[in-house]
Chain A
Amino acid sequence: MRVEYINPFVEAAFNVMKEVLGGDVRRGELYLKSTSMPVMGVAAIVGLAGGVEGRVLFDMDKASALSIASAMNGEDLTVMDDLVKATITELANMITAQAVTKLHELGFQFDLTPPAIFTGDNMEVSNQDVEALIVPMETGHGKVEINVAIRERA
């Protein structure tokens, strides 16, 4: 993945989470991964198109998703209903959009697809051919892993 793409995603994730969740948000060590990986329970995915191809995946467990959705809505949510799903989708959208805006300022043209959300147990993402950058974020509401795979259109 191009070096120029890394920072916008890291910054956007940090800024947005700090803004909507408040409190202590910390970023873990970045690393690369290319094997299939388990999804913790809730995964929001945003596709990227344009000069590049790829996707951004936001991965968290159910408890974190509920806690984050509760914090963003200002009410106590305990079941995985449409509101929770819509909230997580929105979070994914906000982060990706802000990253893409930053990238646009740097002169890179990206288009977004509408986000989609997956929930379930024992899910796994396997596209072995794609190397993804993992940005682990530690929030007061649980862990969110952002999995960015972008490839230059050759």
Chain B
Amino acid sequence: MNGQSAEPATNRIAPQHAEDKKERVDKIDYKMVTFSLAGKEYGIDIMNVKEIARAGKFTYVPNAAPFVRGVYNLRGDIISVIDLRTMFHLPSERKGDDALESLLILRVDEHVFGVIVDNIDKVVGISSASIQPPHPIFGDINVKYIKGIIENAGKLYIILNVEKLFAPKKSAEVKTIVDGGLRKPAIVDDQAPEELAKIELSYQEQQETSGDLTSAFIKETLFAFKRFAVTPLNEAWFDQRYEEWKQVRKAMDLQLKEQGEADQFLETFFSPCTSQLWTEQYMKQLLAALPDVSGKNLNVWNPGCGKGYETYSLACLLKQRYPEARVKIWANDSDLLSISMAPNMVFMVDDVPDLYKEFMIKGRNGWTFLQAVRDTIFFEFHDVLNTNPVPPADLILCRDTVSFMSAIDQKRLLADFNEKSKNKSVLLLGVNEKLPTAGWKAVPVDGISMYIKGA
């Protein structure tokens, strides 16, 4: 039976597959106008091109940027004319005043302007799926302004990103920034100066120190793959890990090219006993480190509790450490799947360290925590970046969670920790996380990152 059905199946799949492939190559959904600048081929999305023209005798505008050739009367509309070759610092042939130039009339949003190029070639239809992303080592033009590269009929075309190049503000506001000998066209808009400075900076770094660039690149990819942001919170670990990584990878490529490599890089980041009940040894360390409390009520906030292992462990730990206190734990996570399993977690006997046995009861399917323990915990489906409705906490347990947020969100959450805690509150971070905010004192215990507020 199996042999019979398998054969026709493979036969059927093969042609279909080939068809798919062909279709991908053939599907033309992107047209571009191609032209040349200093002997190289470029393309611009046809949707941005209003028309092409040959024109000359542009009216010179004093005090304009060097790449603005002047203004031109296009059938009654006055448009500014930009020389792309000057803009990109490419050599251009000096023509006489009467000579005609090839002009692409572009439209970006509502704004129309002319762009001078060497030669306008033709319209080429391509499949947008086959556009390759720009490579950072491109020289002539800043990568930011390149949409991608495409191969067509044996020629490589660089597709310019017209929106980035000229929008969102008008070309009259296009200025050049002169910085360290690098002159690049830049668009002046609200958020640009800061961003530009950054780009400018990274551009210089690229040329000066290649080592730092790799580490910057790893930081970028860590955030892209794992949303792990390197900030003062975890910088010490990162620097150390980066050195280790160099040793481990030796001659191999240092960069993280896929999810698996990012996971591997982060391997040493996680705190002991992640995704399992805390071991006896870890519990003992914490028991010794936790300070005495005066109040009868003990409010605990546990953001990013995941499946709830650390929450249960903490509940048992607190019962041992503060037998008199009334403990309430607000545990939340924004991963619905993990958090929805947390309230009804069942354990197999072998998985459970002995010290938990007194807090557990044997059920039909395995061991579960006593109702008395479970009653102390509120598991909530909640995103900590929204308003946190927790009461002032005596203890905040947040291991390896803050690092997996963007730098701004990290700041916000740490500020929230500050706000939602009492004086002398305890904050427990991941072992490789160091609290960068003032007002908290580190408790010097190996293997634990613990802080006490206002001490």
Give residues in A with beta carbon < 8 Å to B. Answer: 1-4, 6-7, 30, 32, 34, 128-131, 133, 151-152, 154
A130's contact among B334, B340, B387, B391, by CB below 8 Å, is which?
B387
User: Given A3-B340, A4-B343, are A32 and B386 also a contact pair (CB < 8 Å)?
Assistant: yes
Which residues of chain A are within 8 angstroms of B383 by Cβ–Cβ distance?
Answer: 32, 34, 131
The answer to whether B387 touches A133 (Cβ under 8 A) is no
21 A/B residue pairs, CB under 8 Å, sorted by A:
A1-B381, A1-B382, A2-B378, A2-B379, A2-B381, A3-B340, A3-B379, A7-B340, A32-B383, A32-B386, A34-B383, A34-B386, A34-B387, A128-B387, A129-B387, A129-B389, A130-B387, A131-B382, A152-B378, A154-B389, A154-B391
Closest Cβ neighbor of A29 among chain B residues: B336
Q: Check B37 for interface membership: any CB of A closer than 8 A.
A: no
A6 close to B340 (CB less than 8 A): yes
Q: In the complex, what residue of chain A is closest to B384 when comparing beta carbons? A: A131
Distance between Cα atoms of A4 and B391 in the complex (Å): 20
Enumerate chain B interface residues (CB-CB to A < 8 A).
334, 336, 339-340, 342-343, 378-383, 386-387, 389-391
Residues A152 and B340 in contact in the complex (CB < 8 Å), given A1-B382, A32-B382: no
Q: Would B386 and A1 count as touching, CB distance under 8 A?
A: no
Cβ-closest 6 pairs across A and B? A34-B386, A131-B386, A154-B391, A3-B379, A129-B387, A32-B383
Q: Which residues of B contact A4 (CB under 8 A)?
A: 343, 379
Contact B387 A131 (CB under 8 A): yes
Tell whether, in the assembled complex, residue B387 and residue A3 are in contact, meaning their CB atoms are under 8 Å apart: no
Taking a contact as CB atoms under 8 Å apart, the answer to whether A3 and B342 are in contact is yes
Q: Smallest Cβ distance from B420 to chain A, in angstroms?
A: 11
Interface contact A3-B343, CB-CB below 8 Å: yes
Q: Which residues of B contact A152 (CB under 8 A)?
A: 378, 389
**Residue of A with least CB distance to B390:** A154
CA A2 to CA B374, docked complex, whole Å:
13
The answer for the CA separation of A128 and B386 in the assembled complex, in Å, is 9
Instruction: Check A151–B389 contact: CB distance below 8 A.
Output: yes
Residues of A within 8 A of B343 (CB): 3-4
For the complex formed, measure the closest distance between the CB of B328 and the CB atoms of chain A, giving whole angstroms: 9
Chain B CB within 10 Å — which of A129, A131, A133 has the most?
A: A131
For A154, the closest partner residue in chain B by CB is: B391
Tell whether, in the assembled complex, residue A1 and residue B380 are in contact, meaning their CB atoms are under 8 Å apart. Answer: yes
- Chain A residues, Cβ within 8 Å of B380: 1-3
Complex Cα distance, B389 from A6, in Å, reads: 17
Residues of B within 8 A of A1 (CB): 380-382
Q: How far is the CA of A1 from the CA of B342 in the complex (A)?
A: 14
The residue of chain A having its C-beta at the shortest distance from the C-beta of B389 within the complex is A151
Chain B neighbourhood of A30, CB < 8 A = 336
- Identity of the chain B residue whose Cβ is nearest the Cβ of A152 in the assembled complex: B378
